[in-house]
Amino acid sequence: MLTLRGAGGASPAPTSARRGRSLSDLGLIKDGALLVRDGVIAAAGTRAEVEKLPEARGAEKLDLGGRVALPGFVDSHTHLVHAASRAEEYELKIAGASYEEIARKGGGILNSVKKLRAATAEELKKRVKAALKQFAAHGTTLIEAKSGYGLDVASELKILKLHKELAAEQPLEIASTFLGAHAVPEEYRKKKDGAERYIKLMEENLLPEIAESKLAEFCDVFCDRGAFSVAQAKRVLQAGRQWGLAPRMHAEQLSRTGAAQLAMLLRAASCDHLEQVNKKDIQAFGKSETAATLLPGCDFHLGLKKYAPARALIEAGAIVALATDYNPGTSPTLSMPMILSLACTQLRMTPAEAIAAATINGAYALRREKRVGSLEVGKQADIAVFEVADYREIPYYFGVNHCWMTLKRGRVIHAPKEYPT
Residue ranges that bind Zn ion, judged by CB under 5 A: 325
When the beta carbons of 248 and 408 are compared against Zn ion, the nearer one is: 248
Instruction: Give bridge partners of residue 140 from the DSSP assignment.
Output: 73
When the beta carbons of 80 and 124 are compared against Zn ion, the nearer one is: 80
Question: What are the strands of the beta sheet with 411-414, ordered from one edge?
Answer: 68-71, 383-386, 403-408, 411-414
- Spatial separation of the C-alpha atoms in residues 292 and 29, rounded to whole Å: 28
CB of 87 to Zn ion, least distance (A): 19
When the beta carbons of 147 and 359 are compared against Zn ion, the nearer one is: 147
CB of 185 to Zn ion, least distance (A): 17
HEC secondary structure over 30-49: CCEEEEEECCEEEEEEEHHH
When the beta carbons of 178 and 404 are compared against Zn ion, the nearer one is: 178
Q: Which of 68, 30, 75 is nearest to 173 (CA)?
A: 75
Residue nearest Zn ion by beta-carbon distance: 325
CB of 255 to Zn ion, least distance (A): 16
Q: Residues with Cβ < 8 Å from 414, sequence gap 6 or more?
A: 133, 136, 137, 403, 405, 406
- Spatial separation of the C-alpha atoms in residues 93 and 101, rounded to whole Å: 10
Instruction: Give bridge partners of residue 237 from the DSSP assignment.
Output: none
CB of 76 to Zn ion, least distance (A): 11
CB of 312 to Zn ion, least distance (A): 22
Give the burial class of 356: count Cβ atoms within 10 A of its Cβ; 0-12 exposed, 13-18 middle, 19 or more buried.
Answer: buried
When the beta carbons of 35 and 291 are compared against Zn ion, the nearer one is: 291
When the beta carbons of 152 and 325 are compared against Zn ion, the nearer one is: 325
CB of 250 to Zn ion, least distance (A): 5
Q: Residues with Cβ < 8 Å from 180, sequence gap 6 or more?
A: 147, 148, 150, 151, 156, 202, 206, 236
CB of 327 to Zn ion, least distance (A): 6
When the beta carbons of 76 and 359 are compared against Zn ion, the nearer one is: 76
Question: What are the strands of the beta sheet with 218-223, ordered from one edge?
Answer: 73-75, 140-146, 173-181, 218-223, 246-251, 270-273, 291-294, 320-322
CB of 90 to Zn ion, least distance (A): 17
CB of 329 to Zn ion, least distance (A): 9
Instruction: Give bridge partners of residue 293 from the DSSP assignment.
Output: 272, 321
- Spatial separation of the C-alpha atoms in residues 231 and 269, rounded to whole Å: 19
When the beta carbons of 111 and 374 are compared against Zn ion, the nearer one is: 111
Phi and psi, residue 9, nearest 5°: 80, 0
DSSP secondary structure, 213-247, as one string: TT--SEEEEEESTTSB-HHHHHHHHHHHHHTTPEE
End-to-end Cα, the chain, rounded Å? 22
When the beta carbons of 26 and 236 are compared against Zn ion, the nearer one is: 236
When the beta carbons of 198 and 326 are compared against Zn ion, the nearer one is: 326
When the beta carbons of 149 and 386 are compared against Zn ion, the nearer one is: 149
- Spatial separation of the C-alpha atoms in residues 150 and 159, rounded to whole Å: 7
Q: Which of 151, 147, 245 is nearest to 197 (CA)?
A: 151
- Spatial separation of the C-alpha atoms in residues 231 and 3, rounded to whole Å: 42
Q: Cα separations (Å) of 403 from 37, 87, 114, 354?
A: 24, 27, 35, 16
